[in-house]
Amino acid sequence: MPDAGGTTASELGRVVEGRGAWVAASVSVALLSISYGSPLLIVIGLKPIAADLGTQRQVISLAAALTWVGTGLGGIFMGWVADRIGVRRTVIFGSTMIAAGLAVSATGKIWALYVGHGLLLGFLGNGAMFPPLLVYVSRWFERRRGTALALISSGQYVAGMVWPSLFDLGMTRFGWQATMVAYGIFAGLAIPPIAAMFLHPAPQQSHAEFVIDKDRRGTVLGLPPNLVLGILSVAGFCCCVPMALPQSHLVAFCTDVGVPAATSAIMLSVMQACAFCSRQFWGWLADRVGGLITLILGSACQALAIAAFLLTQSEAGLFAVSAIYGLGFSGIVPAYVLVVRELFPSSEASWRVPTVLFTSMGGMAFGSWFAGALYDHFGYYAPAFMTGVAFNVLNLMLIGFLVARRGLGSSGMRPAIA
């Protein structure tokens, strides 16, 4: 049957989830693997930057935190912009802001780190990349949306596999400032031509999804829609507080217990590599059981892995725990996006998805900064990991409530698309 625009089912199949859809997803992975290298610079350089500027780790961790806050808040604004000027132009603009943010940060002033990372690198840079690209790719897919979202979200982990060791080498040989500037130039030159060539407009909403969106209006899981969005947002904050701990402090934590810096950077890459591999499994699972079940399973795995960091300080043990952590937490962020797309109309995705991502990245920001503050107060990281476990338990309670609400009726069940 033709859809509302007169497109037949076979023609729609060549557009939605066709070759163009997988090109859009693959290109988005490549773009995010470059853009998400930029926040890793301050993670790898946390100790040398703090030593060079003569300040505490929490001061430098705040710059990393502002990157996450800026990316989340910028995603709400940039999602609106992308709906009006197109994702291609939005991404190209974001790449220039990433380059500018790293150049400003490299001037060697604490205020410059905050402005460069929070405003330029975060709000205007990665804020124009990650949230708009997630919404963009989600509109190319229907049946395999969870798999596609997992794939493009893996760009963060590709960055985590590729860049840490190179950044450590660059900072050892040339210093953190030169490394920041060099990577900014690379990102500013590499991203625009890829975006210009491959980011074509997403297909129009199909008739089947249009009908489903009409059915979604009203209550969600038997509750007001904005209340459900609020619960998801708070849950996202709580799960991302512990998520930030290994991603922002693993290198510093491992060097504190005697692991060499180069080996610690490799450990971060191993964690991200495991996250990349397992994220494809989580995407496959999400397409079969839905976003909420995937969320609660991923959150439970993350809680166990965070607790495991309290139990070992040996190099082999930390490698094992890092790998297990990567396997467990990687399905969480795409699952939040999938839940929003399952429960709310497609027309609202451009602001509801970035809103949930904003609060989630706020959790990443708070977790990154608070872990540094707790370290500065106690002199070791155990209190930070214990705090992470507590936040993770609260997340499980909130998601568990939504899962229970879904079980009370069919209003929250994922609708089938014929």
Single-letter code of the amino acid located at 89:
R
- Does residue 310 register a pLDDT over 90? no
pLDDT mean across residues, the chain: 84
Task: Indicate whether 2 belongs to any domain.
Answer: no
Report which listed range, 16-25, 127-136, 259-268, 321-330, is most confident: 127-136
Q: What pLDDT, on a 0 to 100 scale, did the predictor assign at position 326?
A: 83
Total domains, the chain: 1
| Lowest mean pLDDT segment, chosen from 80-89, 112-121, 146-155, 214-223 | 214-223
User: Is 413 inside any structural domain?
Assistant: no
Q: Are 127 and 94 in contact (CB under 8 A)?
A: yes
Query: pLDDT for 41-51, tens place per residue?
Result: 988 888 889 88
pLDDT at 206 (0 to 100): 54
Confidence at residue 246, expressed as pLDDT on a 0 to 100 scale: 81
Closest CA to 333 of 258, 200, 246, 236: 236
Lowest mean pLDDT among 233-247, 290-304, 368-382: 368-382
Q: Which residues make beta-bridge pairs with 313?
A: none
Q: Where residue 21 sits, what CATH number does that domain have?
A: 1.20.1250.20
Averaged pLDDT for residues 49-63: 85
Mean pLDDT in residue range 37-66: 86
Among 128-132, 273-277, 302-306, 393-397, which range has the highest average pLDDT? 393-397
Q: Do the Cβ atoms of 67 and 122 come closer than 8 Å?
A: yes
Domain span including residue 154: 9-407
Task: Establish if 4 belongs to a structural domain.
Answer: no
Mean pLDDT value across residues 295-304? 91
Q: What percent of the chain clears pLDDT 70, i.e. is strictly above it?
A: 90
User: Per mean pLDDT, which of 221-225, 275-279, 368-372 is the most reliable?
Assistant: 221-225
pLDDT in tens, 65-116: 888 888 888 988 998 899 889 999 999 999 999 999 999 999 989 999 999 9
Which pTM value belongs to this model? 0.73
326 domain-assigned? yes
For the record, the structure tokens of 138 come out as 């989600």
More confident position, 269 or 125: 125
221 lies in a domain? yes
Q: How far is CA 115 from the centre of its chain?
A: 21
Q: Is residue 416 part of a domain?
A: no
Whether residue 139 lies inside any domain: the answer is yes
Given a cut of 60, is residue 338 above it in pLDDT?
A: yes
Q: What is the CA radius of gyration of the chain?
A: 21
Beta bridge partners of 114: none
